[in-house]
Structure 1
Amino acid sequence: MFRLIRLEYLAENLINTINDFDEFLEQFRQTIGSKSSEVIGLKSIAAYRRGLTIESIPKARASLRFNQIKQEYSDQKICLTDKILIDFLLGIALDIAAENKLPIQFHTGFGDRDLHLRFSNPLCLRQLLENPRWQEVPIILLHASYPYTKEAGYLASVYPQVYLDF
């Protein structure tokens, strides 16, 4: 059996069960960095949660947000929509993907009705795509990036690590 790990879903489950940020990070890293042959890739819905402009976030800032989220949702199931924590975790996931030669699928374009469509434009990924740390990570843009199909085609034509799912 093969597994595609959904990053935000994994983070939500871990946040709901772990109170310490360092322990949370360790479990997140262990799960996506598993050398198991069943893990064949990673998947992100960052476009639907806070957008595809992924920024580099310091650990201290992510830790602070983790603790604030834990307080705010102390007795509720968490739906992770915090851009700071999502961006930080995507940086970790991209580093692990580069190390383990795993592809990452990104939902792009139209999706959930509560998304901000302009932030799901795959062109928002350019900073990520040009980062030398992650240029070997295969990036798969899902759902033809509709209505940004032309933009996704452009990215796939100029960045050799980008693939487009039609």
Structure 2
Amino acid sequence: MGVDLSDVRVVDNHCHSVERSQHDDVTSWRSYFTESPDAHVRAVDVASTACYQRLTTAMAGFHGVDRAEESVLAARSAVGVSELAGRLWTDARLDALVVDTGFPDPAIALSVPELAVAGGCRAVSLLRLEPAFEALILRAQSYDELLDLTRDTVSDVRAAGWSGFKSVVGYRTGLAVDRWDVADARASYAAARTEVEAGGRVRLGHKPLLDTLLHVAFAAAAAQELPLQFHVGYGDPDADLRQANPLQLRALFEEPAYRGMPVVMLHNCWPFVREGAYLAAVYGNAWLDLSYGIPFLSRGELRQVSRAALGAAPASRLMYSSDGARVPELHWLSAHDGRRLLGEALDELVADGDLTADQAQTAGERVLRDNAWSLYGIDAAPRPR
């Protein structure tokens, strides 16, 4: 008998909340399942992707209806979003969620405690750095004040209720986070403040300033031994893939002062999964996230991701996730696909003589649950009531 991970309760090491109000018309529903901003892709083309059609078929089976989109949407709309999430996540056997609260807007999404209650699981949250920095820029009247505010914000994040950090610098200025002269950082701060004064807000794409603030956060994460997740690779066109290769993080991994900061490379680093697996194999604080929901890929491609990761990186440095966001179905289907595809990849390693059956079983359990449970200190999270 092959590796059986069907009963393993999973820790979703990277996911997002669910929107309180769910789209129930076909065109709007389809838009949940693409990173494209193109209106035709969102409304039409996404329906012919392997990922979307797989999800629709699975949903139809779960609800016991035919696979027409209208039938599936009618079935899911018959219950409230919290009840729907509870049904799906109970079926998915979720043990804990690690939630990036930076997306979707918390004003329209279930809170982290509500997610835990809905899923009957534990949940911890991460501080997304770039929006936090932007809020501080609005307050700071000088560059020096901004640095002080930033240090205060990242100095004791566990006491503030966070279990780690998340950065989307890959969406902003690229993963090569440099060090800058103070004069450059001050000039960058001045440009950001000009943006604030002109429009009342700022999008922190000012590289010298963003890089400088990130280094403040890196030092704090290392001192507190807290994980920091990076968006890597796949995303909407706002992320320049040429600057989102995980190899751009090499200087960070080489920095001795940051060795206490576990760095989690998200989204399989897709399409750079082998580069991510290499980094996880050679750096003691590098972790590779294996996401089975987003990117929106076929099972065949996700199976290849699993093979590449398990073939190069230690199983102790791999963690399962869904990157599920906005709708609960992504968290649900990803858990089932993750168990299945990891199991198939591990079966191949057993067949090839790389692992024994017992070693493969242990590896699967580590990837699906144990590694993330330990890294994020989930034991300290309250049980849902």
TM bin, normalised by shorter chain, reads over 0.9
* Cα distance in structure 1, aligned partners of 2:142 and 2:231: 29
Name the aligned partner's letter for residue 254 of structure 2. Answer: E
Which structure 2 residues correspond to residues 122-133 of structure 1 after superposition, within 5 A? Answer: 122-133=246-257
CA distance in 2, matches of 1:16, 1:113: 27
Which structure has the larger Rg? 2
CA separation of 1:59 and 1:40: change in aligned 2, threshold 3 A: farther
| Residue of structure 1 in register with 2:265 after alignment | 141
Tell me the residue number matched to 1:47. Answer: 170
- Quick one: structure 1 residues 124 and 26, their matched pair in 2 at CA, closer, same or farther if it must change by over 3 Å? same
SS in 2 for 1:75: helix
Rounded to whole Å, the distance in 2 between the matches of 1:103 and 1:66 is: 27
Amino acid at match of 1:59: V
Q: Output one character per residue of 1:94-148: Cα deviation in whole Å (capped at 9) or x when no partner.
A: 1111111111100000113122111000001011101111122100001111111
Aligned match of 1:71: 194
Q: Would you say the 8 A contact 1:110–1:146 is kept in 2?
A: yes
Any idea what SS the aligned residue of 1:39 has?
A: coil
Please give the alpha-carbon distance, in whole angstroms, between the structure 2 residues aligned to 1:26 and 1:3.
Answer: 24
RMSD over aligned CA atoms reads: 1.6
Identity of aligned residues (%): 37
Partner residue, 1:8? 130
Q: TM-score of the superposition, structure 2-length normalised? A: 0.41
Match of 1:94 among 198, 207, 218: 218
Residue 246 of structure 2 aligns to which amino acid in structure 1? P
Once residues 110 and 22 of structure 1 are traced to their aligned partners in structure 2, the CA distance between those partners, rounded to angstroms, is: 35
List gaps (5 residues or longer) in structure 2: 1-112, 114-123, 291-385
1:75-94: CA deviations, max 9, x gaps? 32111111111111111111
Q: Does 1:116 align with 2:240?
A: yes
User: Aligned to 1:62, which of 177, 185, 194?
Assistant: 185
Aligned residues of 1:7 and 1:43 also touching (Cα < 8 A): yes
Q: Corresponding residue for 1:21? A: 143
SS of match in other structure, 1:137: coil
Tell me if structure 1 keeps the 8 A contact 2:195–2:202. Answer: no
**8 A contact 1:32–1:96 mirrored in 2:** yes
**One-letter identity of the residue aligned with 1:160:** G
Distance in structure 2 (CA, Å) of the matches to 1:58 and 1:136: 25
Once residues 274 and 280 of structure 2 are traced to their aligned partners in structure 1, the CA distance between those partners, rounded to angstroms, is: 10
Gaps of 5+ in 1: none
Aligned-pair distance for 1:31?
A: 1.1
Paired residues of 1:156 and 1:163 also in contact (CA < 8 A):
yes
| DSSP 3-state at the match of 1:87 | helix
TM-score by length of 1: 0.93
Structure 2 residue identity aligned to 1:5:
L
